[in-house]
C-alpha cells in the first residue's frame, strides 16, 4: 500500500505541479517522505519509490527542497545503500543539485554542503564504495553517476578542504589543513580501488581519472600524478604480460584505455611534471620487484618447503595462463571462420 501511495504521489507531481506548489501540500509531502526515509529498516523498493518522488519534486519544484532541509544528509547516506536502484536515484538527485553550485565558491554558497561540514568527505567516500565492487555485481549506470559526482567533488574539495571535516574533527589552523590533504585521501582511495584485476572496476576508476583530467586545472592534479599513474601503468604491464606474443596491443582495450588516460594527464599537467612522476612510479615498482626477489631467495634457504610450494603454485598458474591463451586463440579463429 505504501509503495502504491509513493508511486501515486510521483504521478501527481508530474500531472499537477501547480497543486503541489500551492499551499502547504508540497511541504507536507516532502516532510512525509523525509520521515519515511529515516527508517533504517525501510524496504528498498519503498525507499526507491519515495526517492523517485523526491527526484520529480527536485526537478519541477526546487523551492520545496531548500538547502536547509534535513532530507539532503539522508540522500548522502543513501549513496551507500546496498541496492543499485536506490543508489542511482540518490546519486541523480545529488548530481542535479551539485551541478547548480560553483565548486570554487562553496563557502559563501549557503548550500547544504556548506551548512553540513563533513558532507563532502561522506559523499566522496560513499561514491568510492559504488566503484569498489566486483565485476559480478558491477552496474554501469551507477558507475557513470558516481564518476560525474566525484569529478565535481574533487574540484570542491580542492577549493574548500575545510568542508571535508566535521566541526569537532576540523583542523585548527591552515597549516594542519595543508598537512591533512583530503584530495590526497581521495586519490589514494581511487588508486587502491584499481589494484584488483576486475576489469570493470579498473575501467571505472580510469574513467574517473579521465573525468578529472577533462574538468580540473593541471596545477590541481600535479601533486597526485604518482597516485594516478601507478594503477594505469600497472594495468598496462599486466595486460601486456598476459597478451599472446605477436598480438597488437593497440587493439587491446585493457591497454588502450589506460594509455589514453595517461596521455590526457601528460597534456594537462605538462610533459616535465608527467615524466618526473612516471620515473618515480617506475622506481618504486623496481624496488618492490627487487625486494620480492630477495625475499623469495632468502625463503629458499630458510624455509625450502614453503619455497617449493610457491614454485609449484607458480607453475600451475603458468599452466592455466597458457591454457587460457590457447582457448582464446581457438575462440578467435572460430569467430574469424564464421564471418
- Cα–Cα distance for residue pair 235/196, rounded to 1 Å: 10
- How many other C-beta atoms are found inside a 10 Å radius of the C-beta of residue 215? 13
Helices and strands in the chain, H and E counts: 17, 0
Asked if the model's pLDDT at residue 274 lies above 70, the reply is yes
Instruction: Quote the pLDDT of residue 330.
Output: 58
Q: Where are the alpha helices (DSSP H) in 71-194?
A: 71-77, 84-98, 112-115, 119-131, 140-159, 174-179, 182-193
Highest mean pLDDT (candidates 50-64, 186-200, 247-261): 186-200
Report the percentage of the chain scoring pLDDT > 70: 79
DSSP string, 191-202: HHHTSS--HHHH
Instruction: Quote the pLDDT of residue 326.
Output: 63
Instruction: Quote the pLDDT of residue 18.
Output: 72
pLDDT band, very low/low/confident/very high, at 142 (cuts 50, 70, 90): very high
Instruction: Quote the pLDDT of residue 67.
Output: 80
> Which residue did the predictor score with more confidence, 264 or 311?
264
- Cα–Cα distance for residue pair 158/305, rounded to 1 Å: 51
Instruction: Quote the pLDDT of residue 333.
Output: 46
Instruction: Quote the pLDDT of residue 138.
Output: 92
Instruction: Quote the pLDDT of residue 23.
Output: 65
pLDDT band, very low/low/confident/very high, at 57 (cuts 50, 70, 90): confident
Q: What is the DSSP secondary structure assignment for residue 165, as one 8-state letter?
A: S
Domain ranges for the chain, please list them: 1-65, 66-216, 217-283
Asked if the model's pLDDT at residue 236 lies above 60, the reply is yes
DSSP string, 4-72: HHHHHHHHHHHH-HHHHHSTTHHHHHHHHHHHHHT-TT--HHHHHHHHHHHHHHHHH-GGGS-TT-THH
Q: Find how far residue 34's CA is from the centre of its chain.
A: 27
> Which residue did the predictor score with more confidence, 217 or 253?
217
Grid coordinates given for 49: 519509490
Instruction: Quote the pLDDT of residue 86.
Output: 94
Q: At what angle do helices 84-98 and 119-131 cross, to 10 degrees?
A: 140
Instruction: Quote the pLDDT of residue 289.
Output: 72
Instruction: Quote the pLDDT of residue 174.
Output: 43
What does the longest C-alpha to C-alpha distance in the chain come to? Answer: 83
Question: With contact defined as beta carbons under 8 Å apart, do 57 and 26 qualify?
Answer: yes
Q: What is the arithmetic mean of pLDDT over 292-306?
A: 69
Instruction: Output the pTM of the full model.
Output: 0.80
Name the average pLDDT for the chain.
83
Asked if the model's pLDDT at residue 287 lies above 90, the reply is no
pLDDT (tens digit per residue) in 243-252: 655 555 566 7
Asked if the model's pLDDT at residue 101 lies above 50, the reply is yes
> Which residue did the predictor score with more confidence, 276 or 310?
276
Q: What is the arithmetic mean of pLDDT over 59-74?
A: 82
Report the percentage of the chain scoring pLDDT > 90: 47
pLDDT band, very low/low/confident/very high, at 37 (cuts 50, 70, 90): confident
Q: What is the arithmetic mean of pLDDT over 253-267?
A: 94
pLDDT (tens digit per residue) in 154-195: 999 999 998 888 765 555 444 454 447 999 999 999 999 999
- Phi first, then psi, for residue 195 (nearest 5°) are -65, -50
Amino acid at each position: 500500500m505504501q509503495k502504491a501511495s509513493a508511486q501515486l504521489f510521483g504521478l501527481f507531481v508530474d500531472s499537477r505541479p501547480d497543486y503541489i506548489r500551492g499551499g502547504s501540500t508540497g511541504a507536507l509531502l516532502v516532510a512525509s517522505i523525509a520521515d519515511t526515509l529515516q527508517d533504517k529498516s525501510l524496504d528498498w523498493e519503498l525507499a526507491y519509490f519515495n526517492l523517485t518522488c523526491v527526484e520529480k519534486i527536485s526537478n519541477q519544484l526546487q523551492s520545496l527542497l531548500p538547502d536547509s532541509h534535513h532530507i539532503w544528509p539522508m540522500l548522502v547516506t543513501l549513496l551507500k545503500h546496498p541496492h543499485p536502484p536506490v543508489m542511482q536515484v540518490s546519486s541523480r538527485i545529488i548530481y542535479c543539485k551539485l551541478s547548480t553550485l560553483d565548486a570554487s565558491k562553496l563557502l559563501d554558497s549557503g548550500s547544504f554542503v556548506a551548512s553540513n561540514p563533513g558532507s563532502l568527505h561522506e559523499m566522496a567516500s560513499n561514491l568510492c564504495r559504488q566503484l569498489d565492487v566486483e565485476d559480478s555485481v558491477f552496474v554501469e549506470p551507477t558507475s557513470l553517476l558516481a564518476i560525474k559526482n566525484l569529478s565535481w567533488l574533487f574540484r570542491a574539495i580542492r577549493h574548500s578542504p575545510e568542508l571535508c571535516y566535521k566541526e569537532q574533527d576540523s583542523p585548527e589552523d591552515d597549516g594542519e589543513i595543508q598537512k591533512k590533504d583530503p584530495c590526497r585521501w581521495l586519490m589514494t582511495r581511487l588508486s587502491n580501488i584499481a589494484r584488483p584485476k576486475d576489469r570493470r572496476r579498473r575501467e571505472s576508476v580510469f574513467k574517473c581519472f579521465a573525468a578529472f583530467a577533462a574538468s580540473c586545472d593541471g596545477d590541481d592534479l600535479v601533486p597526485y600524478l604518482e597516485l594516478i599513474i601507478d594503477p594505469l601503468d600497472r594495468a598496462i604491464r599486466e595486460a601486456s604480460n598476459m597478451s599472446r606474443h605477436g598480438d597488437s596491443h593497440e587493439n587491446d582495450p585493457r591497454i588502450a584505455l589506460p594509455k589514453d588516460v595517461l596521455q590526457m594527464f601528460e597534456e594537462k599537467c605538462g610533459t616535465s611534471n608527467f615524466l618526473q612522476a612516471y620515473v618515480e612510479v617506475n622506481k618504486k615498482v623496481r624496488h618492490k620487484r627487487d625486494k620480492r626477489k630477495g625475499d623469495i631467495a632468502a625463503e629458499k634457504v630458510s624455509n625450502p618447503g614453503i619455497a617449493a610450494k610457491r614454485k609449484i603454485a607458480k607453475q600451475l598458474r603458468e599452466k592455466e595462463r597458457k591454457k587460457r591463451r590457447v582457448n582464446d586463440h581457438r575462440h578467435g579463429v572460430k569467430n574469424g571462420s564464421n564471418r
